[in-house]
Amino acid sequence: MTDAIVVEGVHKRYGDKRALDGLDLTVRRSTVHAVLGPNGAGKTTAVRILSTLLRHDEGRVEVAGFDVRGRAGEVRRRIGLLGQYAAVDEELGGRQNLEMFGRLYHLGVRRAGTRADELLARFGLADTGRGPVKEYSGGMRRRLDLAASLITDPEVLFLDEPTTGLDPRGRAEVWSAVRSLVGGGTTVLLTTQYLEEADQLADRISVIDAGRVAAEGTADELKAMVAGDRIDVVVRDGSQLVAAAQLLGDGAVVDADRRLIGAPAPDRMATLTRTVRALEEAGIEAEDIAVRRPTLDEVFLSLTDRRPERAEVAA
C-alpha cells in the first residue's frame, strides 16, 4: 500500500526567509497525522505546498500518488482543503456555495445540487435559509467550509489549524466531524498549535520548528522520547516543601503555590515506593502523590524552545 503523502527534503524560501528547510513527512493512508508547531514554524507553508497552492523550491512532494508540481490537476481531484480562513464566498448563501463548488468539481448540475443538500444536512446546516455566509456564526462558517472540502469525498484532506478562533463548542463540532471522516477511509493531515488537539485526533504527530521536523511519532512515543516518567508530590504543610524536595533528589522542581514538587521517576513504581517511605520517615504528610507520563506541553517546550499557545480544554 502506497503512502497518501510523501514529503522529502522540501525547501521553500521567501526572499531571505526559510519557511521550509528540509521538511520530511510520510503519512500512511487512512490515518490522521498532526503537524504540530509554534507560529511561524512553516505549518501553513507546508499545507499550501501539499494542496498545490504554492510551489516549493526543492524536494519531492507527492499526494495520493501524484507529484504536486507535475500532476497538480490529478492531485486537486483527490484532495479537500480547509484553510485557516474560511474559503467560501461570504456574499452567497450556504447552499449556493456548495452547489457552485460541486459544479466546479464537475459533478454535473443535478448531482451538485443533491450533494449540496446531503452535506448541509450532515453538518447541521439544512435550516440556515438563504442568508449570506457573512451572517453565519464562526462555528457555522467553519462547518460550511468543511462541507465544501468534502464535496468529492477526498482521498486526502488538509486541515490547516481547523479550530483556531473557535469557541469550545465549535472546536468540539470540528473534532467530531474529523473523527467520523477517518472512519470512512480519508487520510487527514492537520496542523495545529494546540497540543491537546494533536493528542486527541492524531495517530501520529510531527513536531516541526523552523521549517523542519524536530520529532515524529505517536503521542506516547513523543512523550517517552523527550523525558522519562515524572513523580508529583503535594504536601499538606507548605513549610515542609524544601525538606520534601531534598528527599526527591536532583531534578526536583518546586511549585510553592500548589505545594507541589515534581521530579523524574526513572523507575516508576520503585521511585514511588521509595518516596512514600522516605516521606513517612521524615514525618512529612503528603496530600497527593502520583507517577505520570510527561504532558505533550513538556515535550513541545523541550523540542521547540518556544512557548506554545495554551490549549483551552474543549467542553
Partner 1 sequence: MSSMSWVVSDSWTMTRRELAHWARQPVRIVVGLVFPVMLLLMFNYLVGGGQGVDGDNTEFLVPGMLALTMAFGLESTMLAVTQDLNKGVIDRFRAMPMVSGSVLVGRSIADMLQSAAALAVMTGVGYAVGWRWHHGPDAALGALGLLLLLRFAMLWIGIQLALVAGKPELVQAVQILVWPVGFLSNVFATPGSMPGWLGAVVEWNPMSATATAVRGLFGNPGGPGGTWASDHAELLAVAWPVALIAVFLPLAVRRFARIGR
Interface residues with partner 1 (CB under 8 A) are 48, 51-55, 73, 76-77, 79, 81, 83, 85-92, 96, 100-101, 103-106, 132, 148
The secondary structure of residue 7, as a DSSP letter, is: E
In the structure grid, which three cell numbers stand for residue 164, read together? 483556531
Contacting residues for 54 by C-beta, under 8 A, at least 6 apart: 12, 45, 48
Contacting residues for 291 by C-beta, under 8 A, at least 6 apart: 229, 230, 231, 265, 268, 269, 271, 272
Q: Measure the CA–CA gap between 116 and 59, rounded to whole angstroms.
A: 38
For residue 270, report the phi and psi dihedrals to the nearest 5 degrees: -65, -45
- For partner 1, the closer of residues 146 and 231 by Cβ is 146
- For partner 1, the closer of residues 86 and 301 by Cβ is 86
Q: Measure the CA–CA gap between 272 and 291, rounded to whole angstroms.
A: 7
**Shortest distance (Å) from residue 151 CB to partner 1:** 9
**Shortest distance (Å) from residue 101 CB to partner 1:** 7
- For partner 1, the closer of residues 88 and 215 by Cβ is 88
The torsion region of residue 3 among left (phi > 0), alpha (psi -120 to 50) and beta comes to: beta
- For partner 1, the closer of residues 76 and 230 by Cβ is 76
**Shortest distance (Å) from residue 53 CB to partner 1:** 5
Q: Alpha helix (H) ranges present in the chain?
A: 43-50, 72-78, 94-104, 109-122, 138-149, 168-183, 195-201, 219-226, 241-248, 268-281, 296-304
**Shortest distance (Å) from residue 138 CB to partner 1:** 14
- For partner 1, the closer of residues 161 and 199 by Cβ is 161
In the structure grid, which three cell numbers stand for residue 247, read together? 528527599
- For partner 1, the closer of residues 14 and 183 by Cβ is 14
**Shortest distance (Å) from residue 135 CB to partner 1:** 11
**Shortest distance (Å) from residue 83 CB to partner 1:** 5
